[in-house]
Structure 1
Amino acid sequence: MTFKRRSLLLGLGALALSSLLPSCRSQTSPSLSIQMLENSIPVQLFKQFQRQLEQRIALDAVPLPQLVQLYDLLVAWKEAQTTEQRSGLPEWVPLVGRKPTTDQADLLTLGDFWLTTAIAQGLIAPFASTEVSGLQQLDAKFQTLVTRNAQGQPDPNGDIWAAPYRWGTLMIAYRPKEFGELGWQPTDWSDLWRPELQGRISLLDSPRATIGMVLKELGQSVNSDRLDDAVASQLTTLHQQTKFYSSNAYLQPLLLGDTWAAVGWSTDILRIADSDRRIAAVVPASGTILTADLWVRPAGAPTNDASLASQWIDFCWQPETVIQLALLGLSASPQLLRTNRDTLPETLRANALLLPSADILESSEFLLPLSPDTIEEYRRLWAKVRQMG
């Protein structure tokens, strides 16, 4: 079951379509307001969370279809706070030029791609270690991802800025029928450079992700701070193989048969591969780029019921929740990596797309912040190659 836009007043046995008003939050039941990525949490898990609590709560959970929309909410809330501070008047007083925004949430889904900027711009606030104590039980990759200094750079002595609740991989989706006619199936990044696929590939319109894929194919780190001639050469050749670039519509040409392979995120691809037999997928054997969806606390978020936010985060890491998230939502929790695979349901143990082998994961990396000079180097190379036509 997918989760469409709605608000859940759990425990009260009712559904409401409007968000809780700020003035009501302290006068009614304890409340938890969440802005989340659509389809990232099955609706059944909200009901399970309510059953675990010792008190009735008002839970307002609103999904949005794209991660960029959630980041934009953080920006809008920050701008509203700044306007209020400059005026010296409370937010409910109408001011010329003020843009209406959604009521600020206690928690919000943020893609790891935006974490550095969100921290550096003061859009989010850190968690106390006691609020996310379960983080210490996660794989070190995830701890490193969210422990950062005030500039958003990874720092083992920094604050904890986010709580990862699901992760995914960069993978290859493809049409098995067409590849069957070629007599082979893709297994690794290097297959994308085979001459049979010229003009048959869709790629993400993203310098970091696509150049990162090239770096991985060359056996280098996806966070390399130097792009040598081999990277430029491989990216140029890959561009000649590519028919279509898009960050949000890269699967459409694949579904139409205009391309035979598409590189994209498992969080997009798994649902299609699960429901459409024309599409298969593979996590490249040499390793890949990891991605994560994170719970973050918006700067200035109300703290009256902060313990509920902490309980929700902890709930997302509980063993039963982890299994349900995988079975119902086709999403892998970070906690799944610390679970004995022999204890998992057979459908999960056999799902190499949702839970790749330990060897593949060991060779995989998150995209971490680069220096401004390195970012500019990536952009220059990307622009140069894309202009080749």
Structure 2
Amino acid sequence: MNRILFKIAVPAVFILLSLCIASIAAAKQEVYFYNWSEYLPEEVIRQFTKETGIKVIYTTYDSNEAMYAKIRLLDGKGYDLVVPSGYFVNKMGREGLLREIDKSRLNNFKNLDAQHTDRPFDPGNRYSIPYLWGSTGIIVNSAEIDPETVRSWADLWKPEFKGKVLLLNDVRDVFFMSLRVLGLSGNTTNPDEIQQAYDKLVQLMPNVRLFNSDTPRVPYITGEVSIGQIWNGEAFMAAEENEKFVYIYPTEGAILWMDNLVIPKRAENVDNAHALIDFLLRPDIARAICEEIGYASPNREAVKLLDKDIRNNRTIYPTKEDLAGADFQVDIGEAIVIYESWWEKLKTGR
């Protein structure tokens, strides 16, 4: 090669290498977020990308079990941010599916209310950051059913509700309800008690029209069902569309849960995942999420910013009286296999 060509070729090679490196860097400005259905306003995603340049590849699931199965299958790879409920944080952390959170990267961690951090399922928030919390209760279409006649989970078994009931497509929520009707712990690992709950649910099945955990408010709004289980945020959104929908905290106790942001152990965009977590912890962002989808924020500073009507809405922020008898779900270990066995029998035996 003559000197002139060499002088031209060498800079050209460096330019091409620089362009390739820049292209690779740009390609990594993304984060794969796997979340519950209808659990994050699209505007929040757009704002994050606008402010950071990081593209959010967003997909959803409708149950902890579906999420867990996928993360387990991929051995903690394929997603950078996931939102399991508390008892699944414990399970996934114990099984080595999660990466430790670097809280030094989270300037907004301080905004969280201390009562929602350092929970038993994840002491010290080693693996998880609180995202939203809420309850599972009963929703009633007051145009068809007098809400004053429905106070407990047991009321769903009334014969007049034949073919009118919706149950969440969630094994723990459904069995928790049945166990509480029987006066048992919703977190039991006793095989005999789990079978008793199954037998009780079999008696309920003539009333059950469908199972739904994707957008459970929709069958109520369309009139397909009139009463049944629902998450409080879905109840809030249903009432926003039509005030005839009433949310009820059952006398046996509502089911409580907290959903949390976690990073799978083989996530490829860890820095971007931390950036998104910190963004979601901003008071203005946490407020926007709460006000649009109707689930309670664990963010102390965000709660201060909430519209008074939201802050005083008992569907979102229940009173102490509402939570009498309420309990959080916990990890039940290997007993989940027993639950799932009866669950499949319940659904296929209809």
- Indicate the TM-score class for this superposition, using the shorter chain for normalisation: 0.7 to 0.9
Task: Give the Cα separation in 2 of the matches to 1:29 and 1:244.
Answer: 43
Contact 1:187-1:283 within 8 A present in 2 as well: yes
Could you say what secondary structure the match of 2:119 adopts? helix
* Mapping 1:180-329, distance limit 5 Å: 180=146, 184-226=148-190, 227-228=192-193, 231=197, 234-248=200-214, 253-277=219-243, 279-302=245-268, 306=271, 309-329=273-293
- Whole-angstrom distance in 2 between the partners of 1:71 and 1:376: 14
Amino acid at match of 2:315: L
Query: Does structure 2 conserve the Cα–Cα contact (< 8 Å) formed by 1:135 and 1:143?
Result: no
Aligned equivalent of 1:134: 109
Cα distance in structure 1, aligned partners of 2:245 and 2:253 = 21
Secondary structure at the counterpart of residue 186 of structure 2: coil
3-state DSSP of counterpart to 1:257 = coil
Residue of 34, 59, 62 corresponding to 1:64: 59
Which residue number in structure 1 is paired with residue 31 of structure 2? Answer: 33
**Aligned partners of 1:35 and 1:105 also within 8 Å:** yes
* Distance in 2 (alpha carbons) for counterparts of 1:294 and 1:350: 24
Q: Quick check: 2:83–2:262 contact (8 Å CA) kept in 1?
A: yes
How far residue 213 of structure 1 moved from its aligned partner, in angstroms, is: 1.0
State the one-letter code of the partner of 1:272.
A
Counting only pairs closer than 5 Å after superposition, residues 327-342 of structure 1 correspond to structure 2 as 327-335=291-299, 339=303
List gaps (5 residues or longer) in structure 2.
1-19
Q: 1:293-348: CA deviations, max 9, x gaps?
A: 32221323346x73x644543443343333222223333222259957xx742211
Q: Secondary structure at the match of 1:358?
A: coil
After TM superposition, the structure 1 stretch with the greater mean CA deviation from structure 2, 114-123 or 56-65, is 114-123
Structure 1: gaps of 5 or more residues: 1-21, 82-103, 148-155
Match for residue 124 of structure 1?
98
Paired residue for 1:144, among 96, 105, 119? Answer: 119
Measure, in 2, the Cα distance between the counterparts of 1:252 and 1:48: 28
User: Which residue is equivalent to 2:130?
Assistant: 164
Per-residue CA deviation, residues 167-208 of structure 1 (Å, 9 max, x unaligned), is 23212222211114xx84533323223333233212124332
**Amino acid across the alignment from 1:33:** V
Look up the equivalent residue of 1:42 and give its one-letter code.
Answer: P
Q: Of 346, 365, 376, which residue of structure 1 is paired with 2:327?
A: 365
1:231 Cα shift? 4.1
The 1-side partners of 2:252 and 2:212 are apart by: 24
Corresponding residue for residue 151 of structure 1:
none
- Residue identity matched to 2:119: T
Alpha-carbon shift at residue 379 of structure 1 (Å): 4.1
- The alignment covers a number of residue pairs equal to 325
> Residue deviations 1:119-145, cap 9 Å, x none?
355433121354468379445465326
Q: Is the CA contact 2:232–2:294 (under 8 Å) kept in the aligned structure 1?
A: no
Q: AA paired with 2:99?
A: A
Question: Secondary structure of the equivalent of 2:150?
Answer: coil
Structure 1 residue 47 displacement after superposition: 6.6
- Residues 1:336 and 1:121: Cα distance change in structure 2 (over 3 Å): same
Q: Which amino acid aligns with 2:52?
A: I
Out of 320, 339, 346, the position equivalent to 1:378 is 339
Which residue number corresponds to residue 98 of structure 1? none
Which amino acid in structure 2 is aligned with residue 35 of structure 1? F
Checking the alignment, whether the CA contact within 8 Å between 2:233 and 2:316 is kept in structure 1 is no
Cα distance between partner residues in 1 of 2:341 and 2:180:
20
- CA drift of 1:261 comes to 0.8
CA distance in 2, matches of 1:119, 1:300: 13
Q: Specify the alignment match of 1:99 in structure 2.
A: none
CA distance in 2, matches of 1:375, 1:70: 15
- Where in structure 2 are the equivalents of 1:90-129 lying within 5 Å? 104=78, 106-112=80-86, 114-116=88-90, 118-129=92-103
Does the 8 Å contact 1:32/1:106 carry over to 2?
no
* Structure 1 residues 252 and 39, CA gap change in structure 2 (3 angstroms): closer
Post-superposition Cα deviations, 1:260-281, rounded to whole Å, max 9, x if no partner, equal 2121323444323322455433
Whose helix fraction is larger, Structure 1's or Structure 2's? 2
Q: Given the two structures, how large is their TM-score scaled by the length of structure 1?
A: 0.66
